[in-house]
Structure 1
Amino acid sequence: MNPPKVFILPKKATEEARIVSLLNPRYAKPTRYLVCPETGIYEFTRVAAPKTTPRSWLMECSATGALAGKTDADRVELGTYITKGADLFVATPIDPLFLILPALAAASKSEKRFFLCSDDHFDSILQDSPHLAEVLRWENVRRLLESRMAAACETSQGGDELMFRFSEEKLLNELVSKAKKMADQPLPKSMEDKFVTKVLEAPMLGMKREATLSIPQDQSESVLAPESETTPSTVESSESQSSTASLVSATSDPSEASTAATSVTEESTTTTTITATEVVAATFQASEEITKLQRLRTAFQFICSSYVMPALAAELKTMLEERKSTLADFAPLDDYLAQIAKMRQDALAARSMGDYSRKRAVDDEEAAERAEKKRKKEEEDKRKKAGQSRGVRDLQKVNTRGMKKMSDFFKKK
């Protein structure tokens, strides 16, 4: 008996909906889909717990309370379960156009492309899609597939039947329109941070400024007073004043007092050196137009990498880059990315030439990296020990010195 799985199905799906195996548009392998004759086709998105923190499902059938008088087979079917993993399969709508792409791509491989009826296109993938023939028996599903096929094909009326011929131009327009709908608003947070914000972020430039000022001692306090933090120069000047004042009070001889006063006069004009390290952010910042273009490119690449075959996806990306004026002009985005790359190279070169303590910084980074690896290893060991039973932990403490291993008894003599 197969272990049970947890599915979240749409409420609007009817009782006639079935889980079938159809050809995956990206990898050309049979994949499970939910097909409803009334509401359309759904794909299953697998949501799993991370391997580092395993989880399980505790499931109970709704008819578990009515097990009286049931056979053993019924008890197994209607009983309670503990699953090994906490996988969750969520049914989300999918455009039927993607499920037809393998059939259209197969017909486009020939040098001469002809107008073919929908059945001819379906027959090309009928053997690879185990349940496609049963799905096509539903008239609503057939009409849905044919209507979406027209979005990526040139059509011609051949008598009473509509004929289709695959067109990369129409498919590109359809995918770009989908990508524009995704790019109208911010992408999911993980995608927005990794593929938009981080890519468009300008490098930070650190500059060290050193200024030497010669000001009277009595004015140094007024100059440095507005600062919220006391600089090293202020501390040094206050200490010199206190030491000089104590010297004057402790001296009884007028000559010594005059000498002390002279020393105060000589030190009244001091040289104050202020060293400040300021982190200056680059004034280069992505505009709203650049951000939208990056979102559009990311959304288009996501659609192609998820639902379009690799060879066809590469061809569509090339077509999109060539047709800058009609569908999307990525020239401003490319110029911005080129300038960002140049700024990063300049910042890296300046840092390597001007920072003589780079070796020490690298050593600190390596030490921090080793500490992080050690911490992760300790956490992994603790997690493994927590998953071991008490018997296994007790056996690890047994002294096996001088004992033979089990493999020694099965060696060839």
Structure 2
Amino acid sequence: MNPPKIFILPKKATGEARIVSLLNPRYARPTRYLVCPETGIYELTKVAAPKTTPRSWLIECSATGALAGKTDEDDVELGTYITKGADLFVATPIDPLFLVLPALAAASKSEKRFFLSSDDHFDSILQDSPHLAEVLRWGNVRRVLESRMAAACETSQGRDELMFRFSEEKLLNELVSKAKKMADQPLPKSMEEKFVTKVLEAPMLGVKREATLSVSRSQGESVLTPDSETTPPTVESSESQSSASSLASATSDPSEASTAATSVTEESTITTVTSTTEVVAATLQASEEITKLQRLRTAFQFICSSYVMPAQAAELKTMLEERKSSLADFAPLDDYLARIAKMRQDALAARSMGDYSRKRVVDDEEAAERAEKKRKKEEEDKRKKAGQSRGVRDLQKVNTRGMKKMSDFFKKK
């Protein structure tokens, strides 16, 4: 019995939904999909834990639902179960158009393209898609597939059925329309940061600024009377030293009103403070239009890399670049990216000139690191030798050249 797996299925999927094997539109090999005759087709995305942190699921099955119709032996075996890995399968809707692309691509390989019925297109991939013939008989699955085929094909009404002929231009229009819907709002955070923000980020430019401030502080000794005043310290910007003059006064008659002589001596000290600040600023900023164009290109490339065969995806990308005016004009984005590339080259060249002065420092650090590793290895070897017995040390000195190893006597003959 196969081990149980964990699935997250849509609520609107009915009980008639089944997991079947259909041809993968990207890699042209059978892949599992969830097909519901009423609500559509869903792709199964596997979410796995990283190998560095192995995890597992603890599953406890109830006596109803999945175990209905099972034997007692199965009930005991599925009562509780621990999976080997923590894999999780999530079912998300997929456009049926992508599932019929392999059939349309097979018909487009011939030099002359004819209008063919849907059965003729499906017959070309029946051998590689084991369950397709059965799926076409379910509910309205055939009608849904034919309606999506019309989005990428030229149609012609025959006597009793609709005929289809593959058109790259209609497929390109459909994919660009999907990409524009994705680009109307920010992409998922990881994609937005990796494929939009970092791609459009201009190199940072560091500018050093120096500011000089001179402070003059006065120090002195004074003998003051109640009528005397203290001279406040002064702050100057000039680099000079000044001294205050001394003032002395004396009384001429002891009978006169006594006045105290005041003597003030000041010395001015100038302190120069120099501060260096480094201002880091972006040399170029992407506009909203440039950001939207990069988001659109990223969304289009994501769709092509996920659901379109490589050869067909390359052809669609070439067609999109040639039809800039009608679908999307990436000229402003290309100009911006070219400017950023040139700025990065200039910044790299300027940085390489300054690396010569730091080369010796780096070499010294590497030499010190190598010496530290060598010292640790020697200490470890000494520790191992100290734990060995005398007999083991003596055996290591024995010349065993030409002798057979013990394992040679126990090999199979």
Are the aligned partners of 1:25 and 1:308 in contact in 2 as well (CA < 8 Å)?
A: yes
* Deviation of the 1:383 alpha carbon: 25
Q: Judging changes above 3 Å, is the alpha-carbon distance between structure 1 residues 375 and 279 closer, same or farther for their aligned structure 2 residues?
A: farther
Which stretches in structure 1 are left out of the alignment for 5+ residues? none
Q: Deviations over 1:294-337 (max 9, x none)?
A: 11111111110000000000000111111110111111111111
Higher helix share: 1
Once the two structures are TM-superposed, the CA of residue 79 in structure 1 deviates from its matched residue by 2.0
**Matched residue SS, 1:219:** strand
Whole-angstrom distance in 1 between the partners of 2:223 and 2:205: 28
In the alignment, what sits opposite 2:74?
A: 74
CA distance in 2, matches of 1:11, 1:257: 109
Alpha-carbon distance, 1:352 to partner: 2.3
| Structure 2 partner of 1:352 | 352
Residues 248 and 257 of structure 1 are in contact (CA less than 8 Å); yes or no, is this contact kept in structure 2? no
State yes or no: 1:89 paired with 2:105: no
The CA distance in 1 between the partners of 2:227 and 2:86, in whole Å, is 58
Q: How far apart are the structure 1 equivalents of 2:166 and 2:209?
A: 64
Equivalent residues of 2:61, 2:79 under 8 A apart = yes
CA apart distance, 1:356:
5.2
TM, length-normalised to structure 2: 0.75
**Secondary structure in 2 aligned to 1:317?**
helix
Alpha-carbon separation, structure 1, partners of 2:146 and 2:249: 104
Deviations, residues 266-316 of structure 1 (Å, cap 9, x unaligned): 996969473524233124101111111111111111110000000000000
- SS of the equivalent of 2:7 reads strand
Of residues 292-301 and 233-242 in structure 1, the stretch that sits farther from structure 2 once superposed is 233-242
Cα distance change on mapping 1:50 and 1:69 into 2, 3 Å = closer
Matched with 2:398 is: 398
Structure 1, residues 17-67: CA drift from partner, whole Å, max 9, x if none?
A: 111000000000100000000000000011111111111111111118999
Say which is worse superposed, 273-282 or 338-347, in terms of deviation: 273-282
Query: C-alpha displacement at 1:131, in angstroms?
Result: 0.1
CA-CA distance at 1:394 after TM superposition: 27
C-alpha distance after superposition, 1:201-244 (max 9, x if no partner): 11111223456788877899999999999999999999999999
Aligned alpha-carbon RMSD (Å): 10.0
Residues 193 and 67 of structure 1: is their aligned pair in 2 closer, same or farther, counting only changes over 3 Å?
closer
- Which has the higher mean CA deviation after the structures are superposed, 281-290 or 57-66? 57-66
For the structure 1 residues 312 and 67, does the alpha-carbon distance in structure 2 shift closer, same or farther, using more than 3 Å as the test?
A: closer
CA distance in 2, matches of 1:391, 1:269: 80
In structure 1, what is the equivalent of residue 123 of structure 2?
123
Identical-pair percentage: 91
**Alignment coverage as a number of residue pairs:** 413
Quick check: 219-228 or 160-169, which moved more?
A: 219-228
Stretches of structure 2 lacking an aligned partner (at least 5 in a row): none
Residues 22-31 or 356-365, more deviating:
356-365
- Check the 8 A contact 1:202/1:282 in 2, yes or no: yes
- How far 1:159 moved relative to its partner? 1.2
Decide whether the 8 Å contact of 1:352 with 1:358 is kept in 2: no
Whole-angstrom CA distance in 1 between matches of 2:250 and 2:408: 92
Give the TM-score taking structure 1 as reference length: 0.75
Greater gyration radius: 2
Contact kept, 8 Å, 2:220 with 2:266, in 1: the verdict is: no
Residue range with higher mean Cα deviation, 135-144 or 401-410: 401-410
Please give the alpha-carbon distance, in whole angstroms, between the structure 2 residues aligned to 1:244 and 1:170.
Answer: 92
Partners of 1:40 and 1:223 in 2: CA distance:
101
